[in-house]
Structure 1
């Protein structure tokens, strides 16, 4: 509301406040009413130049909407930490459906509060919160905290203690003793299969033993220069020959 006080031409800028928005008149109606009231000296003790009275509706402050928090998956250079906790709320089937309005509403609520707590704890090292799932058991929340790099990720045990202190009394309504932080492998990590689970017993057949045939002893040819030893047979032949020769000599 603007109007001039004649002596000294003081310009007055004022604001009229009503009990509620429904009682606020249109600007032109307020202006006419005030002009009429100022024209009647019995209603106004101050001399006012009624031609300067102007009523204007206040300009509404622009409504600012908070940009939705990023939920992009972690990159290969970022670090991650798993955060589990339960809410004191009744679980409904809609919370299992990522497309449902109830799921999206709770995601936005949880992310906003966890982001607030994590930023207070870790400052610019913390990037964002990702909700992986809601499950039954009051409402179990499985989330991932994303940090700017792997060196920025706090130890799981330290993070558990920090979130117990900072998140237990938050507006979310956390079940006591349900907060737990767990380390996560990097996005490119692969899990080696358990050796015990995949071990197989080799059924290697025993080698078949083969017996090499025994070679017959090689007959060796004596190269000795000594004369052969006479046998009994050869001696008998020799004696008979001598006897025959002797008989022939006798007959002569």
Structure 2
């Protein structure tokens, strides 16, 4: 869920872990938790992911007990809008966007390491309080596919209202609320937006320093970097796809530089598979004049379903993609790894001891996603993480952090400090302060028995961690 606050963006809000970020995130999360706990029986909590400028744009996640209990995005958005008067912050009710996020992950064939998981949403907008919604027949939605992903964040959602088939580059259409019992009107941009089925959303990370001005489209530094990147990508994709038109750079975000872009094609039928688009970029990375993080390329296909508004409603966009688990295999003979143990403040149940149980798999997926997100920003050469086991007390997590090779292994002392700080600021994992322990493992032996050797190390280090 993304929404906008009519408040002043202050220094520190852009950096999770700062006191101003934590204070503001706690204030917002408490308000939203109270609202959604009253409305949805299986609601668990709100997670504040980031603050962005304009005035303050809040990126958040709403977490429910399980997939079957997740409500319709429209209902979630309308609930917040209808409760806006009870909030202790100033919500812009025209900017509530709720998305359903699921991901399919795949590995590229060349120049990549084992991937981790990210997501990219499609969107649902809500405005004024709702009385009735009369939907029109929904269009089919396509699954989201990610390639060589990082545990990064999602790209900015796209909301359209009955787009026409022009491949212009103007912003998407949004809906403006009106007073009760009045007819809603659509704000038409100066030029018609590119139809959602004629483009792909692509996010990737540059290993370059984020400088002031990149967060603001139109500044010289933004235009210069966007032009440089777009020219590179245009050259690559024009050689590969006959009906490719252009790449549009939508935004830059911190970490180091995260690029949100669109890859635009002549029409819906000419749009290639997202996997092929991602692999093309990864395979051509050596020819780029910027430093691409090849584990961070995420390409998504976006199709739009619209719902016609009646009284006090807006058009709604949703998507229903499919999902697979992130790769969590043990380190290979050429990879380096560290062992990691920490505690979570939650009740241990017996099924968490069974690595095939639903409870284990669900918690492991949550832990892996958050640890991947943290580590990809902290450590160069980080590849993936895997949960080895959960044990009682409250819940003790035993994990392996996998790196591209032994040369990328960080110093244990500095890594422990960095990870401790990130875990303390995480609102996904209920980390127990001071419970983190790291142990080095080095690369497994490159023999037929390497997996057996790895398992023996695992047992020895796990015993060491237990006794620590």
TM-score class, shorter: 0.5 to 0.7
Partner of 1:24: 133
TM-score w.r.t. length of structure 1? 0.53
- Kindly provide the CA deviation profile for residues 120-143 of structure 1, in whole angstroms up to 9, marking residues without a partner as x: 1014x1110110000111100000
**Local SS of the residue matching 1:103:** helix
Q: How far apart are the structure 2 equivalents of 1:108 and 1:69?
A: 8
1:168 Cα deviation from its structure 2 partner: 1.8
Partner of 1:165: 421
Q: How far apart are the structure 2 equivalents of 1:150 and 1:26?
A: 56
1:157 Cα deviation from its structure 2 partner: 1.6
Partner of 1:118: 375
Partner of 2:328: 71
TM-score w.r.t. length of structure 2? 0.29
Partner of 2:364: 107
Partner of 1:152: 408
Q: How far apart are the structure 2 equivalents of 1:155 and 1:17?
A: 50
Cα–Cα, structure 1 residues 180 and 26, in superposed 2: closer, same or farther, change >3 Å?
A: closer
Q: How far apart are the structure 1 equivalents of 2:126 and 2:349?
A: 49
* Root-mean-square deviation over aligned CA pairs: 3.1
Superposition map of 1:25-44 within 5 A: 25-27=134-136
**Between Structure 1 and Structure 2, which shows a larger proportion of strand residues?**
2
**Between Structure 1 and Structure 2, which shows a larger proportion of helix residues?**
1
8 A contact 2:352–2:391 mirrored in 1? yes
8 A contact 2:406–2:442 mirrored in 1? no
When the two structures are aligned, how many residues end up with a matched partner? Answer: 151
Q: How far apart are the structure 2 equivalents of 1:59 and 1:18?
A: 13
Q: How far apart are the structure 2 equivalents of 1:165 and 1:152?
A: 21
Cα–Cα, structure 1 residues 176 and 16, in superposed 2: closer, same or farther, change >3 Å?
A: closer
- Kindly provide the CA deviation profile for residues 58-80 of structure 1, in whole angstroms up to 9, marking residues without a partner as x: 58443345653211111111110
- Kindly provide the CA deviation profile for residues 85-140 of structure 1, in whole angstroms up to 9, marking residues without a partner as x: 000111110100111111111001100110111011014x1110110000111100
**Unmatched 5+ residue regions in structure 1?**
1-14, 29-42, 45-54, 192-252
Superposition map of 1:51-66 within 5 A: 57=308, 60-64=317-321
**Local SS of the residue matching 1:173:** coil
